[in-house]
């Protein structure tokens, strides 16, 4: 594993958990993955399923995080939260993970600037629909920064959320920008109904369920 620079190695982040599981979302679904869940989030989505990551956590230096990740002997790494980019040291962490040879993805809310993220990282940007209560915080300037290897995710709680997402995709030409994913909020919208709407509207996107919840429920560390 390549050594990080002195300044990067000494940078510290507050980490809720580091664990090895099956990726349940994005185009990487099904891949064995090491997850680094950073602590803290400036958003409070109504349907959030990781509120336990809002506070607490353990302060770890980047070098220590890299060592824990290396112990799993897994090439694929996902940095998630909370909102990872709320911690400034997330940026050198992402670069250090790439330098160590990992295939890295970042799950971010889309409320914070993604422009400084290492270009080797696949950015999974979760645009907030009105049902989240946080749609006003979407940073639409991020759209112009997306590359073909990035992805846009919409988590939808109602037919109104669905129509809002479809309108945003068409008006902003998001289908042509990068892969788009629609996902239902568990317990608030029937997944089969959402799938039917997508088929009826001939949408060029990926429907997704949270595979990890199918396997293990909503357990932390899974």
Tens of pLDDT, residue by residue over 134-181, are 999 999 999 999 999 999 999 999 999 999 999 999 999 999 999 999
d(CA 117, CA 115): 6
Average pLDDT, the chain: 93
Percentage of residues in the chain with pLDDT exceeding 70?
Answer: 95
Cβ proximity of 85 and 110 under 8 Å: no
- Mean per-residue pLDDT for 18-47? 94
State the pLDDT at residue 219.
Answer: 72
- Mean per-residue pLDDT for 113-133? 97
- Mean per-residue pLDDT for 72-79? 98
The angle subtended at Cα 102 by Cα 101 and Cα 107, nearest 5°, is 145
Whether 3 has a pLDDT exceeding 50, the answer reads no
List all residues 6 or more positions away from 113 whose beta carbon is below 8 Å from its beta carbon.
85, 139, 141, 142
Tens of pLDDT, residue by residue over 178-201, are 999 999 998 899 999 999 999 999
Instruction: State both tokens at 93.
Output: 């962490």
Neighbours of 92 (CB within 10 A): 20
State the pLDDT at residue 217.
Answer: 73
Quickly state the pLDDT bin for 6 (edges 50, 70, 90).
low
Whether 1 has a pLDDT exceeding 60, the answer reads no
Quickly state the pLDDT bin for 34 (edges 50, 70, 90).
very high
Percentage of residues in the chain with pLDDT exceeding 90?
Answer: 85
Cβ proximity of 211 and 183 under 8 Å: no
Whether 4 has a pLDDT exceeding 60, the answer reads no
Q: Packing angle between helix 62-70 and helix 90-99, nearest 10 degrees? A: 40
């Amino acid at each position: 594993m390549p050594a990080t620079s002195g300044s990067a190695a000494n940078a510290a982040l507050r980490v809720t958990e580091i664990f090895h599981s099956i990726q349940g979302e994005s185009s990487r679904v099904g891949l064995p993955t090491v997850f680094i869940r950073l602590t803290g989030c400036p958003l409070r989505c109504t349907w959030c399923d990781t509120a336990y990551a809002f506070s607490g956590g353990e302060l770890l230096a980047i070098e220590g995080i890299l060592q824990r990740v290396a112990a799993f002997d897994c090439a694929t790494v996902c940095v998630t939260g909370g909102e990872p980019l709320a911690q400034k040291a997330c940026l050198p962490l992402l670069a250090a993970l790439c330098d160590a040879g990992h295939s890295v993805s970042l799950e971010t809310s889309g409320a914070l600037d993604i422009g400084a993220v290492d270009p080797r990282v696949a950015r999974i940007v979760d645009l907030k629909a009105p049902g989240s209560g946080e749609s006003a915080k979407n940073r639409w300037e991020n759209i112009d920064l997306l590359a073909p290897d990035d992805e846009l995710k919409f988590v939808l709680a109602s037919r109104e959320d669905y129509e809002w997402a479809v309108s945003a995709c068409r008006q902003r030409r998001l289908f042509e920008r990068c892969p788009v994913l629609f996902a239902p909020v568990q317990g608030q919208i029937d997944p089969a109904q959402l799938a039917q709407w997508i088929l009826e509207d001939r949408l060029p996107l990926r429907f997704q369920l949270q595979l990890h919840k199918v396997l293990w429920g909503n357990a932390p560390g899974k």
